Amino acid sequence: MIIVVANQKGGCGRSTIAVNFAAALAQQGKDVLLLDADRQATASRWCENRKVSYADKPKIAYMQKYGPIIEPLVDLNKCHDYIIVDVPYGDSVEMRSAMMVCDVVLMPFGINQLDLSLIPRMHQIVKQARQANPKIAAYAFLNMIRTYDTDYEIDRAMQIISEYPGIVPLDSVAYNRDLFLWGPHAQGLGVVETAGRTDDEIAAKNEILELVDETLKNNESKIESDRYWNQIAISMNEWAFEQDKVSQIADRFRLFPRKLIDGQART
């Protein structure tokens, strides 16, 4: 299953969510690859640090790819259960091409005018992508909620999102928590892997777990169907190979009687 963490707005938390989503899946024993399609390389730096500093933690495979990433994604999807794609800000070829083949677009939004005013743009882009890839499930969720954001402000943000049919606002939210900014969680440790000593750690961990659950809830069956289609694709390749051989053999037989006839004609 391919999950693209996308938004035109920079700094809304794509990389943070991408790496923590991947860590949560890895912790659940899932085979996950993080595809970093952003030249800023935030996600791959996080993964590199993880390899060195948290070698005892479950492995997260990672890779950098830029430009149109349809083909690499299709190939990688055959080898991993989950691919999390971190794309650059803006309207990038990486984001657009990932949407051509993904199952889920997960969009973090901050509760502020600059973030939320990009909903119509993202809605438009998802709509266009669905013409080629109708299976896209598009989810928006609120990230970096501040403790002083009122219920009214949170509801209003959810209301704005829900005015765009085709983008589903998630119930899961993530609060603004300093632990993402410094220390282990900025350097390769998922918040789900925290010892959970402080209230902040426990809350952050639960938020990510809920986000992962809610995002995957309606999409789990896709892994099975991806496997099914990959299987078919593989057997089609084998079939094509067999067909090739069959027609080579048939060609030799076709030549054989012609030669004979030629031979007879000559004698």
Ligand X SMILES: Nc1ncnc2c1ncn2[C@@H]1O[C@H](COP(=O)(O)OP(=O)(O)O)[C@@H](O)[C@H]1O
Contact residues for Mg ion (CB under 5 A)? 14-15, 42
CA distance 27 to 56: 12
Q: Is 92 in the site for ligand X (CB under 6 A)?
A: no
| Pairing mode, strands 168-175 and 104-109 | unpaired
Q: Is 143 in the site for ligand X (CB under 6 A)?
A: yes
DSSP code of residue 9: S
Q: Is 90 in the site for ligand X (CB under 6 A)?
A: no
CA distance 176 to 204: 9
Nearer Cβ to ligand X (178/238): 178
| Pairing mode, strands 32-36 and 82-86 | parallel
Nearer Cβ to ligand X (13/188): 13
Nearer Cβ to ligand X (196/222): 196
Contacts 24+ apart (CB under 8 A), 179-184: 179/204, 180/16, 180/204, 184/53, 184/54
Tokens of 191: 């918040």
Q: Is 11 in the site for ligand X (CB under 6 A)?
A: yes
Q: Is 180 in the site for ligand X (CB under 6 A)?
A: yes
Binds 11: which of ligand X, Mg ion, none (CB < 5-8 Å by kind): ligand X
For 80, the 3-state DSSP assignment is coil
Q: Is 177 in the site for ligand X (CB under 6 A)?
A: yes
**Cross-strand bridge partners of residue 140:** 107, 169
CA distance 80 to 31: 6
- 188: nearest Cα among 48, 86, 61: 48
Q: Is 184 in the site for ligand X (CB under 6 A)?
A: no
Nearer Cβ to ligand X (198/247): 198
Q: Is 15 in the site for ligand X (CB under 6 A)?
A: yes
Nearer Cβ to ligand X (54/89): 89
Kindly state the smallest distance separating residue 9's Cβ from ligand X, in Å.
7
Q: Is 138 in the site for ligand X (CB under 6 A)?
A: no
Kindly state the smallest distance separating residue 20's Cβ from Mg ion, in Å.
13
Residues 50-79 that bind ligand X (CB under 6 A): none
Binds 109: which of Mg ion, ligand X, none (CB < 5-8 Å by kind): none
DSSP alpha helices (H): ranges in the chain? 14-27, 42-53, 70-77, 93-101, 113-116, 119-132, 151-162, 199-217, 221-266
CB 61 within 8 A of CB 80: yes
Question: Near ligand X by CB under 6 A, which window of 58-66, 171-179, 234-242, 251-259?
Answer: 171-179
Chosen residue from 14, 50, 96, 123 binding ligand X by CB under 6 A: 14
Q: Is 246 in the site for ligand X (CB under 6 A)?
A: no
Binds 164: which of ligand X, Mg ion, none (CB < 5-8 Å by kind): none
The site for ligand X (CB under 6 A) is made up of 10-16, 42, 89, 143-144, 174, 176-177, 180-181
